[in-house]
Structure 1
Amino acid sequence: MSLVIVSGMSGAGRSSVAAALEDLGWFVIDNMPPSLMPKVVELAESMRDPSPSLGLVVGREVASDISSLIEAVELLRDQIPATRVVFLDASDDALIQRYEGTKRRHPVPGESVIDSIHREREILSKVKDLADIVIDSSDLSVHELRSRVYEVFSADGTSTEMRVVISSFGYKHGLPRDADLVFDCRFLPNPYWDKSLREQTGLDQGVRDYLLSKPEVTEFLGVLQSFVGYLLPKFRAEGKSYLSVAIGCTGGKHRSVFLAEELRKWIEANGGRVSVRHRDFEK
């Protein structure tokens, strides 16, 4: 059985993640008290036809029972090797905006919403440290958050093999909040300054030909592949199930898109599980 435990900041999207997992065929229990998690898993394993994929979404009141959650996570990881912990995070500003929009009371008592958020963040810091996957939903719509879950827990989501997600982005639109590795390629020749290539992207052959003709681009690509190739088995050995690699240029349209695609092809050719998304190339 594969097990996913979903926790995180109130308002960061736990319910959306639960719905996405259900869409993918997982059996999901929402608002799960941490103290009951080991018993529920034991019952699931004893069923005649146990679900191969079980998701437990921690409830809003987890901050008052944090020790039980940490104890349950450590116990279940020993019991079920294919256990992953997902932590949903978001910036203070994003959480404040969401609470102001819904008029809901924050589950952690405080003198104000921001005070409650700060208290909850401090309480949940140990859970975040235990997480295999951290998803920052600050800049994600509900649909984008679901897409992120689909990337991580696709039809073959029961596999324990590490999944790599490569993102291209533009620095002028802000850094990705949840990237494990970030590579800056703004020093490379920029196709933007060629008027015939300006409206194209790194997916177009003209931009690809331009970049491949530059020795510094092919040199950097080789270094990037070598470095990532060195790191991947190290992360796998640590038991990491999801690795987010971000590559950024100025606008996120040409160089970063090209490099993300080339790195994807290289990882696939070497047997890795990888997907790619281009955050800013249509902006």
Structure 2
Amino acid sequence: MNRKIVIVTGMSGSGKSTAAKTLEDVGFFCVDNLPVDLLPKLLELADSTGGEIARLALIIDLRQREFFPRYSSIMKSLELAGVSLDVLFLDSRDDVLVRRYSQTRRQHPLAPRGNLLDGINKERKELQEIRERSDWIIDTSDMTVHQLRDEIRKIFNSYRSDYLKVVVMSFGFGKGVPVESDMVLDVRFLPNPFFVEELKAKDGRDPSVANWLLGHEVTRKFLDKFEELLTFLLPLYIREGKQYFTISIGCTGGFHRSVLVAEHIAQLLVRNDYTRVEVKHRELGT
């Protein structure tokens, strides 16, 4: 199978942790400082997942110093195995790295007891070859964490970094509001099928319940307005880097109105190619 490996490396303090988190968000399986000799075993394990792990990101710094002298031979062996290998190199100016280390009070890996600038200079020399062969170089000196994340997303936009996983959950207020909720909607103002004898024992997925509820103008108007709100909001959440969003829709018992609304909203969202949608009905156990 086609496999994508991205090597994330660069100067210590330049933002590799942020890069790793962003790559995870866009669908990469990230491994931090895997020993080079274990890479074939990792690829073997990835193949055994049946395609679940198609894109790997390896975060490599000077803790894996044996990688850099062997970079050329490793790259050739991966290409022969049908693996596509790209290198993302993060860099920053010396003065910025010094400031970041001072703020975090961390020790540079090449200057545990010595001068910080000496350690930075040694690291630059050791990383020079892989920097020259990198596919992308990002200077993070003047970037915020959000700007770095956005830049990485632009580079890897073919992996659908604009996806948002939306969970639409129905529930009954009598059993409490779901703690994982990002948005809570109370639909107890809608007409209640519970008081219609032939609908009482059914739930909101039943066509007769759905038709009865949608036969009321207030239900149709509400769904139209809620769809308009979500169409406005979800792209804004995506732009801010949100990857998961749970919409909890509640009614009295969690069997009729909330279930119908959750199903209807989920169907609307499925038509948006920037969202992946999952429907849950807490009180129905599904």
TM-score (norm: length of structure 1):
0.51
Partners of 1:7 and 1:85 lie apart in 2 by 8
Q: 1:80 aligns with which of 79, 82, 90?
A: 82
Number of residue-to-residue matches in the alignment: 158
Please state whether the residue corresponding to 1:32 is helix, strand or coil.
coil
CA displacement at 1:49 relative to structure 2:
3.1
Of stretches 140-149 and 67-76 in structure 1, the one that deviates more from structure 2 is 67-76
Contact preservation (8 Å) 1:34, 1:68: no
Deviation at 1:6, TM superposition (A): 0.8
Q: Distance in 1 between matches of 2:153 and 2:20?
A: 11
Letter in 1 for 2:122: R
2:17 match? 15
Aligned amino acid, residue 18 of structure 1: A
1:124 to 127, 147, 151: 127
- Compute the displacement of 1:39 (Å): 2.9
- Unmatched segments (≥5 aa) in structure 2: 162-286
Distance 2:68 2:146 in 1: 29
Pairing 1:146–2:149 present: yes
Output one character per residue of 1:2-46: Cα deviation in whole Å (capped at 9) or x when no partner.
111111111111111000001112111122233322332233134
- In structure 2, the partner of 1:39 is 41
Call closer, same or farther: CA 1:37–1:69 in 2, change over 3 Å. Answer: farther
Write out per-residue CA displacement over residues 130-153 of structure 1, whole angstroms, 9 at most, x where no aligned residue.
Answer: 211111111111111100110011
Q: In 2 relative to 1, CA 8–140 (structure 1 residues): closer, same or farther, beyond 3 Å?
A: same
Q: Would you say the 8 A contact 1:5–1:85 is kept in 2?
A: yes
Highest CA radius of gyration, 1 or 2?
2
The correspondence for 1:49, drawn from 43, 51, 73, is 51
Contact 2:33 2:64 in 1 (8 A): no
Instruction: Say whether the 8 Å CA contact 1:33–1:59 is kept in structure 2.
Output: no
Confirm or deny: 8 A CA contact 1:12 1:137 kept in the other structure: yes
RMSD over aligned CA atoms reads 2.2
Aligned CA distance change for structure 1 residues 64 and 113 (closer, same or farther; 3 Å): farther
Percent identity, aligned pairs only, is 35
- Counterpart Cα distance in 2 of 1:41 and 1:28: 13
Whole-Å Cα distance in 1 between the matches of residues 60 and 30 of structure 2? 11
| Paired residue type of 1:54 | L
Using the TM superposition, name which of 18-27 and 43-52 deviates more. Answer: 43-52
Within 5 Å, which residues of 2 pair with 1:254-273?
none
Which whole-Å CA distance do the structure 2 matches of 1:42 and 1:67 have between them? 24
Q: Does 1:114 align with 2:117?
A: yes
Q: Would the aligned equivalents of 2:10 and 2:61 in 1 still touch at CA under 8 Å?
A: no
- Structure 1: give runs of 5+ residues left out of the alignment: 159-283
Q: Is the 8 A contact 1:17 1:149 kept in 2?
A: yes
3-state SS of the aligned residue for 2:108? coil
Question: For 1:28 and 1:152, how far apart are their aligned partners in 2?
Answer: 17
Note closer, same or farther for the CA distance 1:157–1:80 as it changes in structure 2 (3 Å cut): farther
Q: How is 1:224-239 mapped onto 2 (pairs within 5 angstroms)? A: none
Provide the residue aligned with 1:27 in structure 2: 29
Task: Compute the displacement of 1:129 (Å).
Answer: 1.7
- For 1:79 and 1:57, the matched residues in 2 are separated by 21
Partner-residue secondary structure (3-state), 1:4? strand
What is the 5 A alignment of 1:145-184? 145-156=148-159
CA–CA distance in structure 2, aligned partners of residues 92 and 117 of structure 1: 7
**How far apart, in 2, do the equivalents of 1:72 and 1:17 lie?**
22
Question: TM-score, normalising length from structure 2?
Answer: 0.51
Distance 2:135 2:160 in 1: 14
Q: Which amino acid aligns with 2:126?
A: I
Q: What does the per-residue CA deviation read over 1:48-77, in whole Å, with 9 as the maximum and x for residues that have no partner? A: 234121111114413365324453234223
1:35–1:129 CA distance, 2 compared to 1 (3 A): farther
User: What is the alpha-carbon distance in structure 2 between the residues aligned to residue 64 and residue 3 of structure 1?
Assistant: 18
Question: Is the contact made by 2:46 and 2:54 (CA closer than 8 Å) also made in structure 1?
Answer: no
